[in-house]
Amino acid sequence: MNKALAQLIKISNVTGKDATLTQGGGGNTSVKTDDGKSMYIKASGTALKDMDEKQGWRRLNIDDVLGILTDKTIASLDTSRREIEVVNRLLICCDDNAKSQARPSVEAHLHALLDKVVIHLHPNAVGSYVNCKKGQELMNQLFKDQKLPPLWVSYADPGFMLATKIKSLVADYKKQYNAMPAILFLEKHGLFITASTDTKALKIVRDVIKKCNSKLKQIKAAKLKKIAVEKINSCKLAVRKAFFNATGQYTSVSYFYDNEIASFMKEKQAVKMLSSQAIAPDELVYANGPALWFEKCSAQRIEAKLKRQINSGNKPATTFLVKNVGLFVTAKKFSSLVIRDIVASSLFIRANAARLGGLITLNKRQQQFINQWESEAFRKKMATGAGHGQLVGRIAVVTGAGSGLGKAIAIGLARAGACVVLADIDAASAENTARIIKEELPLSQSLVLKCNVTDEKSVKDGFGKILDEFGGLDILVNAAGVAPAGPMTEIPVEKWRFALEVNLTGYFLMAQNAAKIMIAQGMAGAIVNLTSKSGLEASKNNTPYNATKAGEIHMARGWALELGQYGIRVNCVAAGNVFEGSKIWNPRYIKECAEKYDIMPEEVIPYYISKTALNKEIKGRDIADSIVFLCSDSARKITGQTIVTDAGQVMVR
């Protein structure tokens, strides 16, 4: 590996693993080659800790990068056109022949101005000063014994304007001290460290953090009060409902409670500290500003506050602090972990900056720039993923998701943007479905849930895990089923009872528990029973299957009448014969069908296809598409109905 690239990965991984130094995809690093012609730099949106020799960086020609700052045509452009032009020009400066679409950091021209190794971080310790009214004065005192003093950079919009400002300040610094500044403190932003080697740069980082922390109040480990699960879940449902009512967006809700959060909630001025604006770009980009504070968890109060933000032209907050309970985050599960770190950083900075002399925040114009800056939007998209599809953000549970139609339905719901819980008694098969979804949709969210749908405790515990993982529920698809076949005079009663348990009791228990959550959540919902054409038109030698599939349809009709008052829609999809990946259509069952119709086993599938009006084989995706439709807003006025997806074999009259 190239020496400069190896150094880049080293400094990135070391600093990126510490959430007190930088969070999420924030921070930047760069290392120049020995000949001074090229520079390896972190790619935009990549987390420092995730960089390796294959990904997360770009290499640029330094002269070309510096040329951006001297190009008067760029400086003359209006803000939005200028920043887009800079992004495009930086891509042109790349000389690594990379096939990926990764962008070099938008701060690349700033890095090109500095020494060989550059580390840009957003440390909690430094943030406490750069977001403080007396920050520059305090830093001068802290570093008064430094041979070469740090360079204080008053706030400038990130990107081109910041680079232009630092170019001028660095030139003045060199004239005064005949040397490059090693430490740059950026007001309302963070820290730049620059040195001739990676070892020196990392040492300076450690020294700066230690010195800054020496005057700050540190959070002490303490035994946390245990919060009742019922209380946490109640708050999750309230937050989710409020966010949906205010924004129209479905989202997961995650819960966090630790020493950092507990410590801040004990602050006497906690409410005042959070009442100000965002303190730094990351807080604005990822969390839409500071967390909202609530003495009690009330969906109505949360909704009202969010609507006031929106009506004022602001983005709605995504984080909520409930006194004596903890932090709730409305975001994808993996994004919520990043947001939690950003919030924890903000709480630490706010508390310490207030003690040091008063907090300063981004003003309205500065926030507007960040919110409209295409580079920040790109960074957030890279870090969190952009949702798409009819069911974006909705939380769905599918039974029997490890194989057959359950597997196809789970994949279909994930493709439509839903967070999918893969429930199956066979956890290994459900894990396989999860792998398939992840390979196709890397940013999708799924949860494997080992669940016996016929066991009341297993089902109840399963829904508890769903609330713990995602904080709500919008969709239930009952797809786990069995089909014991045989003549009515010969089939054992155990097989009859087994079919009743799985196909009826299983559907009932899942729907009962799902409905309770949907009612408590107050956001409507959709339940779909996967039934069969055999539930509408009986088939020979299929007594347990005929009876239970017909029962599923009638149960759904009754549930539709009961749950309609809560906006919960209940429908059925009566599937035709789906052979692809089916456990039901196994060699033994095919042999029984062959005997029933006096044909050869290899003729069974063509025979069944020939019975359809379309003369087409039905695939799992056909069933999944019907279910996605019934769960979407396109079917918002459909309930108590059965869609027959069988290529025209059974005509419902």
Q: Write out the catalytic residue numbers.
A: 545
What is the chain's length? 653
What beta strand segments (E) does 103-149 contain?
117-121
What beta strand segments (E) does 129-259 contain?
151-153, 183-186, 190-195, 253-256
What beta strand segments (E) does 276-350 contain?
292-294, 319-322, 326-330
Which amino acid, 571?
N
Using the structure block, give the residue that is written with the tokens 């504070």: 293
Decide the pairing of beta strands 319-322 and 326-330. Answer: antiparallel
Q: What is the rounded radius of gyration, in angstroms, for the C-alpha atoms of the chain?
A: 30
Token code pair at residue 226: 């245990």
Q: Which residues, other chains included, contact 249 with Cβ-Cβ below 8 Å and sequence gap of 6+?
A: 243, 393
Q: What are the CA-CA distances from residue 625 to residues 96, 104, 411, 496, 591 (Å)?
A: 43, 40, 10, 31, 30
Q: Tell me which residue of 526, 534, 536 sits closest to 481, measured CA to CA.
A: 534
DSSP state at residue 331: S
End-to-end CA distance of the chain, in Å? 70
For residues 207 and 476, give the distance between their C-alpha atoms in angstroms, rounded to a whole number: 54
H or E element, residue 57: strand 57-61
Q: Which residues, other chains included, contact 252 with Cβ-Cβ below 8 Å and sequence gap of 6+?
A: 330, 331, 332, 333, 336, 393, 395, 419, 445, 469, 470, 471, 472
Is residue 292 within 8 A of residue 321, CB to CB? The reply is yes
Q: Tell me which residue of 164, 150, 128 sits closest to 194, measured CA to CA.
A: 150
**Which letter, b or e, does each residue of 601-611 get, where b requires 16 or more Cβ atoms within 10 Å of its Cβ?**
eeebeeebbee
DSSP state at residue 217: P
Per DSSP, the chain holds a count of helices (H) and strands (E) of 26, 18
